[in-house]
Amino acid sequence: MMDDTSTELSMNPGRAAESAVSGQCRPDDGLAEKSPRVMVVTYGCQMNVFDSRRMIQVLGHAGYVETDDPAAADVIIFNTCSVRDRPEKKVLGSLSRLLPLKEIKPVLFGVAGCVAQQHGQALLDRVPYLDFVIGPDNIADLPDVVTRAASGRRTSSATWMDPRSYDFIPLDADVEAGPVAFLTIIKGCDNFCSYCMVPYVRGREVSKPAGLVLDEVGSLVKAGISEVTLLGQNVNSWGRGLEGNPTFPDLLEAVSAVPGLKRLRFVTSHPADASDRLLDLFGRLPNLAEYLHLPMQSGSDDVLARMGRRYTFAEYFNRIERVRAACPDVALSTDIIVGFPGETAADFESTMDAVRRCQFDLMFSFKYSPRPGTAAASWKDDVPEAEKAARLAALQAMQDGITKSRMQRFLGRVEEVLVEGPSRDSRKDGALQIMGRTRTNYIVNFTVPGGRVPSPGELVDVRIERILAHCLKGVVPG
């Protein structure tokens, strides 16, 4: 986890994840011994996870093999997030810790993603041991950039592509690892919420045409993927600017009908654009999993207005009531920012009340951090750090209780679980533990006493027997 202010890892685009992408490209086996190796470390949201796979894919075409061992890597790329201040600093810290590698062998260091887009050439000027910088719109150039860097020409490729001619990199389905895959369907963001960097580092919205999305989902399923999560900073805007102005619910219905697709998810939805038609699809499309991430940000109408969110709390709550009416068991998660400029104690109390009323399954919460170039950065960051921390702690403590009570509903129930693989603490207590997720996106660790061990991607019915802090425990009934 990249930011210690978030409560848990799940489906949040702003979630702080740090992971080495594994299992793509060509296998890192003996046959590939002479091939150059690339390691990609991913921070930030699922769109960055998707982009990391695309980087490995394009370098795979240029003969690279993926590794998760820095000592074996010829190229190390940090795919970065700049949504808050802390992750940005952490990336440079992590890179400098790898510096001794350069004394042993000619390894290239690259920074990709949102920090790369934000700083471009300035990052190369500032960090002498950095060999290249590559923005999210320039992934197709990566092999050239790496070749240039290898010949000593430090390169920054972080230019914007014209939205009218933006081309998505066609997906090689076989570079996806495991039974679940992310698929970006819209890039950029046009909302310009007053605190947010994303529109500045990801550019204007461009929707991937429906035909491409359907082809990609089809080839993912053929390659063995069971679950696809459609990604965008605001998936609800999908379709604007495409021929015939299709809408996101149109796309969801079409994707849901792809033969063999066991589960479908999407993230993130902007509450102001979450139409009745979209919310009513929950419980109606059989493979649309019952999980919705709907970032609220604040419960105070004044703060919401200054954030530029385009809804009041009452309007937000109406969305929640609508989706719960369509599908009572739906799991809901949200994002909250505390300590936004001008947030009074009363505003914060409104957020506490709102979170209490909404009864989210999961919350990701953050202390406001001013981001250069955004509208809010020119306002006084007037909530003292200690007060931000106290508000965050109070909010998280309350949500922990709500999450705990929301989880109780699963006790004794039989849930459909999509198997992801062996559980992390497998065999700790002697029995093989399998890890998977419910349709509501809760992690379940379970055993299969005496039965056939299910493979990744299979759906199994699991009886939930225990509720732990962040996951469920269960057993496949005999």
Interface ranges with ligand SF4 (CB under 6 A): 189, 191-193, 196, 198-199, 233-234, 270
Q: Are strands 459-467 and 472-475 parallel, antiparallel or unpaired?
A: antiparallel
Choice between 47 and 252, CB closer to ligand F3S: 47
For 195, half-sphere exposure in the C-beta direction (CA atoms, 13 angstrom radius) is 25
Rounded CA gap, 326 and 322, in Å? 6
Which residues on adjacent β-strands are paired with residue 331? 291
Residue 84 contact, options ligand F3S, ligand SF4, ligand SAH, none, Cβ 5-8 Å cut-off depending on partner type: ligand SAH
Choice between 200 and 379, CB closer to ligand F3S: 200
CB 59 within 8 A of CB 21: no
Tokens read off for 92: 């440079």
Side chain identity at 410, as an amino acid letter?
F
- Helix, strand or coil for residue 443? strand
Tokens read off for 420: 């992801």
Choice between 43 and 442, CB closer to ligand F3S: 43
Residue 335 contact, options ligand SAH, ligand SF4, ligand F3S, none, Cβ 5-8 Å cut-off depending on partner type: ligand SAH
Cβ burial, residue 32 (10 Å; 0-12/13-18/19+):
middle
Rounded CA gap, 38 and 25, in Å? 10
Asked whether position 83 contacts ligand SAH by CB under 6 A, the answer is yes
Asked whether position 113 contacts ligand F3S by CB under 6 A, the answer is yes
Rounded CA gap, 450 and 288, in Å? 32
Binders of ligand F3S among residues 193 to 212 (CB under 6 A) are 197-198, 201-202
**Residue range at the interface with ligand SAH (CB under 6 A); choices 114-122, 173-181, 244-252, 368-376:** 368-376
Q: Are strands 443-447 and 472-475 parallel, antiparallel or unpaired?
A: parallel
What character string, x for contact with ligand SAH (CB under 6 A) and - otherwise, covers 294-313?
Answer: -x-x----------------
User: Minimal distance in Å, beta carbon 87 to ligand F3S?
Assistant: 7
Asked whether position 21 contacts ligand F3S by CB under 6 A, the answer is no
Residue 199 contact, options ligand SF4, ligand F3S, ligand SAH, none, Cβ 5-8 Å cut-off depending on partner type: ligand SF4
Task: Name the site residues for ligand SAH (rule: CB under 6 A).
Answer: 13-14, 83-84, 195-196, 198, 233-234, 268, 270, 295, 297, 335, 337, 366, 368-369, 371
